[in-house]
Copies of this chain bind each other. A is one copy, B any other.
Amino acid sequence: MKIYIIGIGLIGGSMGLDIKALYPEATIYGIDTNKKHVEEAIALNVINFEGAITDLVNADFVIVSVPVDTALRVLPEVLDNIGEHTIVFEVGSTKNPICEAVANHSKRRNFIATHPIAGTEFSGPSAAITNLFDGKTNIICEVERTAFKLQEKALDLFKSMGMRIRYMDPKSHDKHIAYVSHLSHISSFMLGKTVINKEKDEQDIFDMAGSGFESTVRLAKSSPAMWTPIFKQNKLEVVEALEGYIANLTQFKELLIQDEYTAIFDEMQSVNKIKEILNGMHVKK
């Protein structure tokens, strides 16, 4: 089995580690414009060898795990180079632009659009970890546009990694993910900015920060190179989500200015049901 990983970072690298564990006979080739990442990935045993896009004709799987703007350019090129039985998947956080980019490609049926909802705030080959996908949701878009035998092959791999499969059309994916993922990243980045700006001359103040602050700003460690193109590709949905968030924050501020503490209590109590929602997440496997 020959696996090609294009973009050897957190997601691609973690998939490489899982595939090595699941299929000891697999050979994993890595392709990355950053040569240091290729060397690092080999040293970390995340991949076996460096690969080339012109070799893809013999690939069983090609995993495209690059920033979503790069994916728009790389994915058609990958499809141009693959063999008849190769299955290609892409793992980015936006699905509609990528599905549109390959909609009319002659090898469209060799492609499966996925979004494994897994990750950490870290990036690069050293961020790769085993079992990252175990128990996580993998959203698959336009499954009917992938050849049936290749769907099966991909689903077997995802299920071996412990993933739970959900099907969704790409526009719905992008709409909902703006709320449950993209908005969280912006809220976290802007929270970090607000506090850093306020306390810029008083580094000691961060001694006052507890685990609550840390949890809330964790995503502000994320990679700008990965996230800028996500926000660009999902601009309309992200702007709408941000507008809703800003409106809710503004209303909360107004309640505070007007000393409406009963309403503030009720607001918080009503959001407390997120407890059950998050508990639901944990038992979903």
Interface hit among A40-48, A58-66, A78-86, A218-226: A218-226
Distance between Cα atoms of A191 and B244 in the complex (Å): 9
* Residue with the greatest number of chain B CB neighbours at <10 A, chosen from A191, A198, A261, A280: A191
Q: Is A194 an interface residue (CB 8 A)?
A: yes
Shortest beta-carbon distance from A196 to chain B in Å:
7
Shortest beta-carbon distance from A74 to chain B in Å:
19
Interface pair B212/A215, CB less than 8 Å apart: no
Interface pair B197/A244, CB less than 8 Å apart: yes
CB under 8 Å from chain B, chain A span 117-141: 117-121, 136-137, 139
Distance between Cα atoms of A191 and B215 in the complex (Å): 14
Distance between Cα atoms of A118 and B207 in the complex (Å): 12
Shortest beta-carbon distance from A270 to chain B in Å:
7
Distance between Cα atoms of A74 and B6 in the complex (Å): 63
User: What residues of B have a CB within 8 angstroms of the CB of A207 in the complex?
Assistant: 137, 164, 166, 281, 284
User: What residues of B have a CB within 8 angstroms of the CB of A229 in the complex?
Assistant: 261
Interface pair A274/B180, CB less than 8 Å apart: no
Interface pair B249/A210, CB less than 8 Å apart: no
Distance between Cα atoms of A253 and B280 in the complex (Å): 31
Interface hit among A30-38, A104-112, A147-155, A230-238: A230-238
Q: How many copies does the complex hold?
A: 2
Shortest beta-carbon distance from A243 to chain B in Å:
7
User: What residues of B have a CB within 8 angstroms of the CB of A281 in the complex?
Assistant: 206-207, 209, 214
Interface hit among A18-26, A49-57, A181-189: A181-189
Nearest residue, chain B, Cβ from A69:
B261
Nearest residue, chain B, Cβ from A204:
B166
Interface pair A217/B256, CB less than 8 Å apart: no
Nearest residue, chain B, Cβ from A117:
B210
Q: Is A157 an interface residue (CB 8 A)?
A: no
Q: Is A250 an interface residue (CB 8 A)?
A: yes
Shortest beta-carbon distance from A199 to chain B in Å:
6
Which residues on A are within 8 Å of B, measured CB to CB?
117-121, 136-137, 139, 164, 166, 173, 176-177, 179-181, 183-199, 202-222, 224-225, 227-229, 231-232, 235, 238-239, 241-246, 248-250, 252-253, 256-257, 259, 261, 264-275, 277-278, 280-281, 284
Subset of 11 A-B contacts with CB under 8 Å: A118-B211, A119-B210, A166-B207, A176-B199, A179-B199, A184-B216, A193-B248, A193-B267, A196-B273, A220-B271, A239-B256
> 8 closest pairs, A vs B, by CB?
A224-B268, A184-B216, A180-B209, A117-B210, A192-B271, A190-B248, A192-B274, A228-B265
With A180-B205, A214-B281, A225-B265 given, name 14 new contacts (CB 8 A): A179-B194, A183-B191, A188-B216, A192-B274, A193-B270, A194-B245, A203-B280, A215-B219, A220-B272, A228-B261, A229-B261, A235-B259, A242-B249, A245-B249
